[in-house]
Amino acid sequence: MQYTLESDFAKHVRGPELHRVYLLYGSQSLLIEQYEKKLIQKALDGGGNDFNLHRFTGEGLDLQAFYDAVESLPLMAPARCVTLDLTAEQLGAGELKELCAILEDPPATTTVILTVKRKLEKKDRLAGVAQVCGRAGCTVELERAGSGGPQKFLRERAAQYGCELPGSCAAYLVRRCGEDLQQLDSELQKVCAYAGGGAITQEQIDAVAVPVLQAQVYDLSRAVLRGNPTRAMEILDQLWRLRVPAPRILSALSGAIVDLYRGYVVRREAVPLARAAGELGYPKNLEFRLKNAMSDSGDYSPAQLAAMLEQMDWADQALKSTGLEDRLVLEQTVVRLFLASRGGN
């Protein structure tokens, strides 16, 4: 069985049913760890019986010891739980085949929980393990926080740290720092320590939270589009000092200009935001980009938008095929975009 929605899996974890095998995988390592902890508590009926909890990692995995842990009867309890934190690189083909054989049919008194803290591709070395887990129990990919999303996670976490995080600030922190829960938790701890308790403000977030590249480039594009080349150059200088590669900056900046063009078309055709975002492939948490683009695009004509797209094409060619220094290309791109947005050449 495969859970395609994290919300469905969360409902299962809260319910009475218990699979014999679980495979939790994806980039949200903190979310995986949280669900692993909940499943362990559920498997052991809320008890902390260390005699019936056995943990393994893929590094130096003793498959015989793992097999014995899975097949053994629980000690003075109705059930036992075995966990394995795994990466494909730690096991050879023969060892993966043996692991699959162990997972095919574990005893009814044992719950096995495998965790892989990365995405699994179609031709992944662990694809066979995933198929076996799906037959013997279930698999679930944890790429984004559901059940209220990262904002709910942040507000609950802030309360644990003695602070109050308003909904608008939680959304702002996600836009600024991305959706990785481990990264968000780390940045939130800094913000709460800086705030010293009470309600957190956007100014406090700006003071200590380190923005991800996408957020910084979003600020860069906003500075250009709002006619503030000085601020745009300041942000570009920050990115350069952080040693962000020029192609990454250019790629993210191109995305912002494409957003603007899409926003213009959506607004002109009067397509509802939710429908347009879905058809254009924007996740729910990134709808704000299209919404802002729809608003900002009202200041531009089709000719200006076309000119800005042409400048991004020039920048791409300049990085790939000219002898210009990368920083010079980026600075010229900012100036060219500013001029194009004002109807200049």
CATH number at residue 295: 1.20.272.10
Instruction: Identify whether residues 155 and 203 lie together within a single domain.
Output: yes
Domain holding 164, by residue range, is 149-208
Instruction: Identify whether residues 21 and 134 lie together within a single domain.
Output: yes
CATH number of the domain to which 181 belongs: 1.10.8.60
Instruction: Identify whether residues 304 and 237 lie together within a single domain.
Output: yes
Instruction: Identify whether residues 183 and 92 lie together within a single domain.
Output: no
* 148 pLDDT more than 60: no
d(CA 54, CA 85) in angstroms, rounded, equals: 12
Instruction: Identify whether residues 165 and 135 lie together within a single domain.
Output: no
Instruction: Identify whether residues 178 and 259 lie together within a single domain.
Output: no
> CB within 8 A of 232, min separation 6: which ones?
220, 223, 224, 334, 338
The DSSP secondary-structure symbol of 58 reads S
Whether the Cβ atoms of residue 187 and residue 210 lie closer than 8 Å to each other: yes
The values of phi and psi at residue 14, to 5°, are -75, -20
Count the domains in the chain: 3
Whether the Cβ atoms of residue 305 and residue 297 lie closer than 8 Å to each other: yes
3-state DSSP assignment of residue 343: coil
Question: What length does the chain have?
Answer: 345
* 24 pLDDT more than 70: yes
pLDDT value of residue 147 = 46
Q: Compute the average pLDDT of residues 306-322.
A: 89
Q: Which of 208, 235, 258 lies at the terminal end of a domain, its last residue? A: 208
Dump pLDDT digits (tens) for 167-189. 889 988 887 887 777 788 889 99
Instruction: Identify whether residues 233 and 200 lie together within a single domain.
Output: no
Q: What's the predicted TM-score (pTM) here?
A: 0.56
Dump pLDDT digits (tens) for 96-144. 899 999 999 999 999 999 999 888 887 888 889 899 999 999 999 887 6
